[in-house]
Amino acid sequence: MFDYIKGKIVSKQNNIVGAASFVVECNNIGYLINTTGRTAAAAGREGADTKVYTTLIHREDAMILCGFLNKEDRDIFNILMTVSGVGMKVALVLLDEFSGCDLISVVIKGDYKELARAKGVGPKLAQKIILELKDKLINWQKNSPLDLSDVADDSVVAEVASEALNEVQAVLLSLGYSLQEAKAAIKQACRVVDKKDSSEDILKEALSYLSQD
């Protein structure tokens, strides 16, 4: 319903562990936005201008607006919500403990012990999240072959394993980025990271590039 909201922060409040909320006023309407403690702290003080990427959760008894300062955190939150056993509270706790980039890296590496650091996420749930989320991030776009034809003569890109590039592209497309955006980000990431680095390192740089407004 709302992709993002731009306005002034009217008030901020810490809720349960890992979660917080703040009100953003836009055109004389105050939007109550549920978020992570990390996001609320980074949003600025009351009276500051902000831009929040949002998602609307529609329940039988309530409509809840959740928001984040960057698009990838919002999109990762949406994907987390599709994992069985993960609701809004767990998704917020995870994105409070880990940045979006770090969370994806942990999932791709399959490090459930690291994921279980988040409060309320035990080893069993952590393994379940990794199993389902990794499948959603990587396999959802497996049928979309990597297309870097316009940068084929780029020696930096050519030296990176095609499997790693395909994995990075699959994740970026799963997060809602277009093929052109994914290609541009992959090309930039390959110029920054060492050619021997893993797909997690390339993905981290690609997401960093895409998060720049």
Same domain, 193 and 149: yes
Q: Which two tokens stand for residue 40?
A: 């609320």
Same domain, 149 and 186: yes
Mean pLDDT of 149-159: 52
Closest CA to 200 of 164, 175, 157, 153: 164
Same domain, 23 and 76: no
**% of the chain surpassing 90 pLDDT:** 31
Same domain, 107 and 123: yes
pLDDT at res. 142: 52
Same domain, 53 and 101: no
Same domain, 14 and 54: yes
Write out the residue range of the structural domain in which residue 136 sits: 72-140
Same domain, 80 and 123: yes
Same domain, 30 and 50: yes
CATH number at residue 32: 2.40.50.140
Last residue of a domain, one of 68, 90, 107: 68
Same domain, 80 and 134: yes
pLDDT per position as a tens digit, 104-147:
888 888 889 999 988 888 899 999 999 888 877 776 555 555 55
Number of folded domains that form the chain: 3
Tell whether the model's pLDDT for residue 65 goes beyond 60. yes
pLDDT at res. 91: 92
pLDDT at res. 167: 81
Phi-psi region of 44 (alpha: psi -120 to 50; beta: other; left: phi over 0): left
CATH number at residue 104: 1.10.150.20
Same domain, 78 and 106: yes
pLDDT per position as a tens digit, 80-109:
988 888 889 999 999 999 988 888 888 888
Same domain, 57 and 106: no
Cα 74 → chain centroid: 6
Last residue of a domain, one of 86, 113, 140: 140
Same domain, 146 and 109: no
Burial class (CB in 10 A: 0-12, 13-18, 19+), 4: middle
Last residue of a domain, one of 140, 159, 187: 140
Q: Which two tokens stand for residue 106?
A: 């942990």
